[in-house]
Chain A
Amino acid sequence: MANQIKISAKLKGSVADVKSLMLHPMETGARKDPDTGNTIPAHHITQLIFTNNGKQVMVANFSTAVSKNPFFGFSFDGAKAGDTLKVSWVDNKGETAELETQLA
């Protein structure tokens, strides 16, 4: 389900600027369904992990207070063209998604 993640990584020397966008409802568990009045159960990404050539470069822990369809940007040093940047997330229901991209 690679279409659930969009990622752009730009190299500036050895620093990679990474921007990513995940498709996810990020339900807080506090919202009510306007039709039925039932509380919509929480459904949110808990952890977002980036690895570059297998080395972990970022672990982001999310609560329900991260906006729907989360955007996340960060930068890391020690990157070079051709490196494989992998991003994966897991949510509180155990669903996962991942995507790989080559740095250029």
Chain B
Amino acid sequence: MQQTRRLFLKGSMALLALASLPRTLLAAVWPKDSFDSTSASGALNALLGADVTTPSDQIAMKVPEIAENGAVVPVSITTSLENVESISIVVNKNPRPLAASFEIPPGTLPKIACRIKMGETSEVMAVVKTSSGIFSTSREVKVTIGGCGG
């Protein structure tokens, strides 16, 4: 009797250990406050602790000048800045401006590509955090059909 109870306890502990495995993989926290913010400066403050960025020509952002479909706007960002810690995409006029944020561990190149939604014509800002500061570059993207509501 005692033995089966032990066995049961062991079994349930193994199950618990298994259940908690994926969580350890997702150790990085999703920055909810920054994504919930309805202003670009609020989002940057919550994410990086400052909303002042230094304009930099060492960041290259590729976005279309005119996006025919705001639901799919390709954005690619690369930078020659060193010791990059994160790259974020901010769409100033979206209801929640922070679109995405990428954590760059050492060894990973500061170069990302993704596709985002834009509600209306807006400045799109690439924000690069390095060990020596926060840098950014902006481009306006004209949107003919919005991609947020409908």
Contact = CB atoms under 8 A, between A and B. Distances in A.
Contacts, number: 115
Given A31-B149, A46-B30, A47-B26, A71 B115 contact: yes
Contact of A74 (B31, B113, B115, B147): B113
Contacts of B108: 57-58, 74-77
B27 to A, nearest CB: 8
Q: How many A residues touch the partner, as a band?
A: 20 to 34
Interface stretch (B2-10, B52-60, B90-98, B135-143): B90-98
A68 B147 CA distance: 10
B109 A61 contact: no
B100 A63 contact: yes
Interface residues of B, number: 38
A70 to B, nearest CB: 7
Interface in A64-104: 64-68, 70-78, 88, 90, 96
Given A61-B102, A63-B98, A65-B118, 10 more contacts: A15-B109, A51-B25, A58-B102, A59-B105, A63-B96, A66-B114, A71-B114, A74-B111, A75-B109, A76-B108
